[in-house]
Amino acid sequence: MATPYATVHLPSTPSTQDEARSRFEGAPLLVTTDRQTAGRGRNDREWLEAPRPLAISLAFELSWPLPTWPRLTLVAGLAAAAALDDMVSLDWPNDLVVGPRKVGGLLTEAADGVVVVGLGVNLWWPEPPPGMAGVLADDPGDTKSPDIAAAFASDLLDRASAGPDGWGRDDYRDRCLTLGGEVVWEEGAGVAVDVGEDGSLIVETEEGTIELHSSEVTRITRGTVPPMRPTE
């Protein structure tokens, strides 16, 4: 059974995350906007917005055990991919991609038992900066955003209601372009080989296998990694 939620649409707002947090009164709330003037990404990075964007945030109470909360961003990625009709893949931990180019991202913030999950997508971007892209080749106007927002909110709330176990790890692996590729982060480099049950990224490095947790990594990129030395 679908979890009910309220919707507030704003023609323009600095941040749907902040609006969803401030307007939340106990029941799930979805905030949407046509234009976000001060959107932010993970670790307060500036969010670049396409000419035809999708910017939404969903606030709700999460009853999962606190140690399992970090995997919610990955669950939200699955909900976003489903809402976009399989047009995008996932790049751990919070990016939506088409091939090598980023088309969107997710931001999960939590306090006092309430989470706010933001989804930003470049629906159409005829002249994007390097490394970015739009999902659609043609401008969809304002017709697609409400349907995508509703599908995302309903799916994410259903997945959250099901609990933190069986969160969709196999589905995430299938959609995750990070796996099998070379990754670089602040303190090292390696090859991503799996996603853990807890949502961590499992990486093979010269020193052995390690687990990367999104809360501990400021930035991770797919890139060129120096060849690993053979194990003696």
Decide if 232 is inside a domain: no
Pairwise CA distance, residues 47 & 14, whole Å = 11
Instruction: Quote the domain boundaries for residue 44.
Output: 6-175
Decide if 24 is inside a domain: yes
Total length of the chain:
232
Statement to judge: residues 132 and 186 lie in one domain: no
Decide if 80 is inside a domain: yes
Question: pLDDT tens, 100-159?
Answer: 899 999 999 998 889 999 999 999 999 999 999 999 999 999 889 999 999 999 999 999
Question: pLDDT tens, 3-26?
Answer: 899 999 999 999 999 999 999 999
Higher per-residue confidence, 228 vs 41 = 41
Higher per-residue confidence, 144 vs 187 = 144
pLDDT band at 87 (very low <50, low <70, confident <90, very high): confident
Q: How many helices (H) and strands (E) does the chain have?
A: 4, 12
- Is the Cβ–Cβ distance between 68 and 94 less than 8 Å? no
Instruction: Indicate which CATH number applies to the domain containing 192.
Output: 2.30.30
Query: Which candidate, 212, 230, 210, places its Cα nearest to that of 94?
Result: 212
Statement to judge: residues 187 and 149 lie in one domain: no
Question: pLDDT tens, 12-63?
Answer: 999 999 999 999 999 999 999 999 988 766 555 666 789 999 999 999 999 9
Statement to judge: residues 192 and 161 lie in one domain: no
Statement to judge: residues 109 and 204 lie in one domain: no
pLDDT at 198: 94
**Residue indicated by tokens 């979890």:** 3
pLDDT at 138: 94
Decide if 59 is inside a domain: yes
Q: Which pair of structure tokens corresponds to residue 170? A: 């196999």
Per-residue pLDDT, averaged over 87-101, amounts to 92
Report the number of distinct structural domains present in the chain. 2
| Proportion of the chain in helix, strand, coil states, percent, rounded to 5 | 25, 35, 40
Instruction: Indicate which CATH number applies to the domain containing 137.
Output: 3.30.930.10
Q: What is the pTM assigned to this prediction? A: 0.90
Statement to judge: residues 211 and 160 lie in one domain: no
Decide if 218 is inside a domain: yes
